[in-house]
Structure 1
């Protein structure tokens, strides 16, 4: 199962951890993913999506319908909803 946001398409970043002696070790910065169910009133159904905490805040602000519409327009929607 890919660690990607189903709406925005965000994925983990790569980077380095730096010690006090400035030694570098590779590190992967994972997303703060949450699995949530959303009710879409236009389609009268529930959908389960993996979204980041940031996307969840956007959904709370704009509403699920507006966010899905915007994602379809941008072409970032990974899961067909």
Structure 2
């Protein structure tokens, strides 16, 4: 399973552990990913995604999954999230 947020594209970063003696050893900073089920009001069903805690807060701030995906850039979204975004847009066009 890849360690990349499906909504923001946030992934692992690299850096150093720095000891008191200023010795540096390489390390990875991993994003805080959570498996969540988000409700889509337009589709009337839940969508399972693996997103970062920061993305979850942003989804709440923008008024849910539909509001977040409406403003999200396609380049940052995973194929699964992009498919959900297209489904939502299709349903909103029909209504």
Runs of 5+ unmatched residues, structure 2? 85-95
Is 1:13 matched up with 2:19?
no
Instruction: Report the secondary structure of 1:55's partner residue.
Output: helix
TM-score (normalizing by structure 1): 0.90
| Of 62-71 and 16-25, the range deviating more from structure 2 | 62-71
User: After superposition, where does 1:8-47 map in structure 2 within 5 Å?
Assistant: 8-47=8-47
TM-score (normalizing by structure 2): 0.78
Counting helix residues as a fraction of each chain, which structure ranks higher?
2
Match of 2:68 in 1: 67
Q: In 1, distance between residues paired with 2:41 and 2:68?
A: 13
Runs of 5+ unmatched residues, structure 1? none
- Cα distance, 1:44 vs structure 2: 1.7
For the pair shown, which has the larger CA radius of gyration, 1 or 2? 2
- Cα distance, 1:41 vs structure 2: 1.4
Higher relative contact order (CA 8 A, sep 6+): 1
Counting strand residues as a fraction of each chain, which structure ranks higher?
1
